[in-house]
Amino acid sequence: MNILMPELEFDPIEHVYTYRGQVIEGVTTILDRAGLIPHNHHGQVPRERGRLLHQAIEYAALDDLNEDTLDPALRGYVMAWRKFMRNHRVKPIAIEVVMAHPELSYGGTIDMIAKMENQVVGIDFKTGVPMPWHDYQLAGYEMLTNRNCDLLPIHAVVPIWFDVYLNQDGDYRIGNRLGTRKSPYHIFNAAHICAHARMQNGG
């Protein structure tokens, strides 16, 4: 995990961002508060599995994963990640990057910024199946990353964003690129306004 801003703190267990002494909401929490994430997607078990998988991926990307201690339930997903990285010759630039948006007051953790097929891309790794809110999440991540692009090793905006869905059987699927469609950005901005209003009013 790489926190790029000295004023930012992040609790990976509780998934809480604190920026300049104030708690701010994360991208996924914003979408949840706005009612855009189905209730059946919630739960401590899926969240903990996701946290451990992302941790395993980070170690694997750094060539520091201890296969002997890896949870057997995660092995297939890690195999799928390795297959994706190998097939597309993905070269990580930054992994598990934690940032905050100073003006909009929200935070987020970017799974990976990488060089892939001679392009700089932002990637979010997921298990499960594609959902409509995944595009809104990517829009929030893109806005967050490009606001802070001067903090990245490449010092440039990241123009291409997509999800990679890892399967337990060791295979994967690449989701649609976010591209130039405006609606995900508009929806995320609206969700952010809604979530902020609810937070201000104790909702």
Any idea what the CATH number is for the domain that residue 53 is in?
A: 3.40.1350.10
Q: How far apart are the C-alpha atoms of 133 and 28, rounded to whole Å?
A: 9
Looking at residue 181, its pLDDT comes to 67
- Which residue type occupies 33? R
Domain count, the chain: 1
pTM of the model: 0.93
Q: Could you report the per-residue pLDDT of 106-158, keeping only the tens digit for each? A: 999 999 999 998 899 999 999 989 999 999 999 999 999 999 999 999 999 99
Q: Where are the alpha helices (DSSP H) in 129-168?
A: 133-147
Q: Position of tokens 């337990």?
A: 168
> What is the tens place of the pLDDT at every residue in 29-77?
999 999 999 876 655 556 788 889 999 999 999 999 998 999 999 999 9
Cα distances from 48 to residues 28, 74, 104, 109, in angstroms, run: 15, 12, 27, 15
Look-up of token digits 């201690």: 69
Q: What is the SS3 assignment for 104?
A: coil
Cα separation of 137 and 143, whole Å?
Answer: 10
Q: Chain-centre distance of CA 5, in angstroms?
A: 17
Residue 182: predicted pLDDT: 77
Q: How many CB atoms lie within 10 A of CB 160?
A: 15
Return the pLDDT at 196: 82
Distances in whole angstroms, Cα of residue 110 to Cα of each of 11, 54, 114, 161 = 15, 11, 11, 11
The DSSP call for residue 138 is H
Domain extent at residue 88: 2-200
